[in-house]
Chain A
Amino acid sequence: MDYQQDFAKEVYEKVDSGAEIKVCMQCGVCASTCPLREKMKYSPRKLWTLIRAGRRQEVLNCPDIMLCTSCYTCKVRCPRGIPVIDVMHGLAHYALEKGITPREETKKFGEAFWDSIYETGRVDEATVPIKYCLKDGMIAGLKKSLSMLDIGMALMKAKRLTPKLFIPPNFFIPGSHKIKGLKDLQKMLDKAKAMGARKEG
């Protein structure tokens, strides 16, 4: 079992909002109000305990930290005013930075969104699922998109999605509208990313 004495200190110092959990009184309000409690292995409250106990591997590899739907209930209801959601996101970012990806699918989904924003300035909801599926490679991607086909077909029938979702894996689909200021936006995204990397590196 991993025990790393200084893990709590690491979290307080390096994780966004990490220091806030110092005042947690273990009341369990976050655990009982989190809608995902039954889908989590632990709960925010228990994760804080594991952090205090120095269980570094267990916390940073725990899928729970990337499960949060950002519903903000915990942040509103924690009697100690701890921004639980921010700590969860902070831990997820920190784990990613350290090269740990606790939940591959969420990470890939995020990357697919990023690609869309970078290429057009907006999120194209028809291409994001394709890209998301393809992050696993072609075969797995096709399987995954087939499992979404029912909903996709129905959406198409209801004219809520354009058929390009079903154009077989073709990354650059003409007609996705790009914003006018795209070049500047990309420059800015590159810079913002570089600044982020400098700060973190």
Chain B
Amino acid sequence: MHAARMTNGQEGTREVSYYPGCSLEATARDYAESVAGAAELLGIKLNEVPDWNCCGATAAHSLDHRVTLNLAARNLALAAGRPQPVVVPCALCFNRLKSAQAELMADGAAVIPEIAELGGNYGEAQVVELNSFFSAGWALEKARSLKKRDLTGLKAVCYYGCQGQRPPAITGHPAPENPTGLDRLLKALGAQVLDWPYKTDCCGASHSVPRPDIVHTLVARLYERALAAGANCLVTGCQMCQANLDLYQEQIAQEMGRPVYLPVFYFTELIGLALGHPQAGRWLDRHMTSPRPLLASVGLAL
């Protein structure tokens, strides 16, 4: 499905464009490093979109619509004519770029001249969420064949959150109420993947700063369900979800009046773990809820 360009020379290397987004340069540096590591292991060359700017997502809600549209338009223009698809690790950026793209295609006139001068074709970028790119058939096969160890003992619930699949008219997601990409990837890596009903529920997103009570309520609900399913960890592909589930775990557990120990992995970290990336331990040490005790208890210590 993804027509990634096969580069000459290195057998099986794919070159794609990469739009990291602001979070991966700041609080989600751990994610950024594991993305780079996992891509390298799977033979994917991430070619960063030059001079990209903020997609406008986080503040979209409180900013003028025309402003957020133009912010996204500039990125789409910069990504045109470059290797496709454009993979995006942040679910919010993905959603914003896709939404803006749909709107721009319907009404190109909304763009101001400075952007139009970039000469871009807004429809050209094939914007793809990183986790769906990494869970495509070819990637699973590659992961399976390069795997150094099975992630046996990890009982994972995959948490997809909101922005990667909804609304399907924009994201083009084939199964917005029951995405399975991460489930398949985790199975390929040898983890036990559990079913649970809260795959696509909301974590509270950017309310963590202005309204922490909202995030705490929603995250507590996710913990309850994950534990009820018998999980010993959560797996996500969104740095906002990861942060909300990981950072406040101790405090939320206190509020819940029960112990909670649920490390929250990025799927890219688990690719690194199974395929033996030398830096995997360093990525994991940036979590607030350390995954090390869990890994040690299931014989996967680093």
A contacts, CB < 8 Å to B = 16, 35-36, 38-39, 66-73, 75-76, 83, 89, 92-93, 96, 103, 105-111, 113-114, 116-117, 121-126, 129, 132, 148, 151, 154-155, 158-162, 177, 179-181, 184-185, 187-189, 191-193, 195-196, 199
Contact = CB atoms under 8 A, between A and B. Distances in A.
B56 A159 contact: no
Given A35-B202, A129-B209, A161 B74 contact: no
20 contacts: A35-B201, A69-B162, A69-B207, A71-B162, A106-B211, A109-B59, A110-B59, A110-B63, A113-B63, A117-B54, A122-B25, A123-B22, A148-B209, A159-B286, A179-B52, A189-B70, A191-B112, A192-B66, A196-B66, A196-B67
A113 B59 contact: yes
Which 4 pairs show the lowest CB-CB distances between chains A and B?
Answer: A110-B62, A113-B59, A72-B166, A125-B26
A113 B166 contact: no
* Most chain A C-beta atoms within 10 Å of own C-beta, residue among B29, B60, B166: B166
A180 B176 CA distance: 37
B204 to A, nearest CB: 6
Interface residue SS majority, chain A = helix
B61 A179 contact: no
Contacts of A39: 211, 213-214, 217
A171 B23 CA distance: 20
B115 to A, nearest CB: 6
A125 B23 contact: yes
Given A76-B176, A96-B62, 10 more contacts: A72-B163, A75-B166, A106-B210, A117-B53, A122-B53, A124-B26, A158-B285, A160-B30, A179-B51, A189-B67
Contacts of A72: 162-163, 166-167
A96 B23 CA distance: 27
Interface in B36-78: 51-54, 56, 58-67, 69-71, 74
Contacts of B211: 39, 67, 105-106
A75 B171 CA distance: 13
Contacts of B210: 103, 105-106, 108-109, 132
A167 to B, nearest CB: 15
Contact of A179 (B53, B58, B65): B53
Given A192-B70, A193-B66, A70 B114 contact: no
* Most chain B C-beta atoms within 10 Å of own C-beta, residue among A103, A124, A188: A188
A134 to B, nearest CB: 13
Nearest to B31: A160
B205 interface: yes
B30 A110 contact: no
B287 interface: yes
